[in-house]
Amino acid sequence: MIGSATRFVAGIAGGVLGAAALWGATAASAGDLKLRLEWTPIAIHSWYFLALDKGWYKEEGVNLTIEPGAGSVNTTQVVAAGSHDVGQAGQATMAAGRQQGLPVKAIGALIRKNEMGILIPKDSPHKSVKDLVDNNVKIVTSPGSFEIPFLEPWFKLAGTDFKKANMMYVDAKLKTSTYLTGEAGAVSTSPATMRSLFEAQRPSKFMLMSEVGMNVPGTGIIANENAIKNKAQDIRGFLKATYRAFDHIVGKKNYEEAYETLIRMRPEAKIPKEVMLGQFRDHETFWVTDATKGKPWGYMAPADWDEAIKNLKLAGSVAADAKATDFYTNDLLPAVTN
């Protein structure tokens, strides 16, 4: 018998919702903003729906349309193309795209710590990626996964050789099922997002890149440079309402309200409650870095971005002369968000 969490995993893997699905405002008018997510809505998108439901965007004069996406790379490309003003995407992915000439920039942090890593079975004796390599554990991934550029430098920092790893490359739609069926003994992913999805079928635990100093910003909010220039007031209002909702959910731990709001607004998603609450709990150590303690939600610390650029250079994602300040701005953030 297939459980609800397993059905939801299958839905994510198969892309249940097409990119044409839209939520929010549809008629074009002053104050319109289009937001592109990096995936179909899950816990880490709930703040947009809560702010929309409570009318907080309208309070700021913003008519927001939300659209699901197909990964951080795709969202970065779509926002860069100008069809969407803002997006939620991995900041490391955004930085790589900007390095290649895409007119995008980070305008707010959400998950401030590196969320990339590997999941292994909870009863596995292995404690590091070096153990995985030394014991020839099969690690499944997909060629377009956002963590791919960081695997080799991560393994090197962990004292092992990525080229000796038993890597298994499959289509993105098969990555989850390959791990859940036991065909692979580990999966590269965002552990805090995926662990609770796997809990019923294959209880798992984290291995994180950050454990060996591979620190880059996690998921955040990006914007098209033309939108930053021409829609600055609307973006400021969008960020103010978004971080108001973020504080309500994350700062005050109103996880159940976030779940109920998302499901009410998106009943077709059918996200199991235990999965979404688990995603919130698993992210609790990722919201704040040492450099952002005591700072408003959304704030991006120069020290964090300096370290990120150093690691992005190791991964070959940005040029040797890249400067951190070229990739982000705090100028559109509200002064107080929490």
Whether pLDDT at 20 is above 50? no
Q: What is the pLDDT of residue 26?
A: 46
Residue 334: which pLDDT band, with cuts at 50, 70 and 90?
A: confident
CATH topology of domain 117-212: D-Maltodextrin-Binding Protein; domain 2 (3.40.190)
Whether pLDDT at 147 is above 80? yes
Contact 124, 187 (CB under 8 A): no
Say yes or no: do domains 4-113+217-326 and 117-212 share a fold: yes
Residue 145: which pLDDT band, with cuts at 50, 70 and 90?
A: confident
Q: What is the pLDDT of residue 337?
A: 65
Percent of the chain with pLDDT over 70: 90
Which pLDDT tens digit goes with each residue over 257-309? 999 999 999 887 788 999 999 999 999 999 999 999 999 999 999 999 999 99
The residues spanned by each domain of the chain are 4-113+217-326, 117-212
Integer CA distances (angstroms), 133 to 52, 107, 129, 154, 328, in order: 46, 38, 6, 13, 36
Whether pLDDT at 15 is above 50? no
Q: Which residues pair with 238 in a beta bridge?
A: none
* Residue 66 phi, psi (nearest 5): -110, 135
Contact 14, 40 (CB under 8 A): no
Average confidence (pLDDT) over 175-204: 94
Mean of the per-residue pLDDT values for the chain?
89
Which pLDDT tens digit goes with each residue over 32-56? 999 999 877 788 999 999 999 999 9
Contacts of 207 by beta carbon, 8 Å cutoff, 6+ apart? 117, 118, 119, 120, 128, 129, 186, 191
Q: What is the pLDDT of residue 27?
A: 45
Neighbours of 241 (CB within 10 A): 26
Average confidence (pLDDT) over 200-224: 93
Q: CA 142, CA 164: separation in Å to the nearest integer?
A: 17
Average confidence (pLDDT) over 68-82: 89
User: Between residues 193 and 14, which one has the greater pLDDT?
Assistant: 193
Whether pLDDT at 10 is above 60? no
Q: What is the pLDDT of residue 258?
A: 97
Contact 186, 122 (CB under 8 A): no
Average confidence (pLDDT) over 197-202: 92
Q: What is the pLDDT of residue 73?
A: 86
Whether pLDDT at 25 is above 90? no
Q: What is the pLDDT of residue 2?
A: 37
Q: CA 282, CA 275: separation in Å to the nearest integer?
A: 10
Measuring CA to CA, which residue among 317, 231, 287, 244 is closest to residue 109? 287
Structure tokens at 246: 């973020």
Residue 69: which pLDDT band, with cuts at 50, 70 and 90?
A: confident
What is the architecture of the domain spanning 4-113+217-326?
3-Layer(aba) Sandwich (3.40)
Which pLDDT tens digit goes with each residue over 102-136? 999 999 999 999 999 999 999 999 999 999 999 99
Whether pLDDT at 3 is above 50? no
Q: What is the pLDDT of residue 29?
A: 57
Whether pLDDT at 18 is above 80? no
Question: DSSP per residue over 146-193, as a string?
Answer: TTHHHHHHHHHHTTS-GGGSEEEE--HHHHHHHHHTTSSSEEEE-HHH
Average confidence (pLDDT) over 134-149: 90
**Distance, CA of 196 to chain centre:** 15
Q: What is the pLDDT of residue 151?
A: 92
Q: In what order do the strands lie in the sheet with 186-189?
A: 166-169, 138-141, 186-189, 117-121, 204-208
Q: What is the pLDDT of residue 71?
A: 80
Q: What is the pLDDT of residue 23?
A: 53
pTM of the predicted model, to two decimals?
0.88
Sign of CA dihedral 35, 36, 37, 38: negative
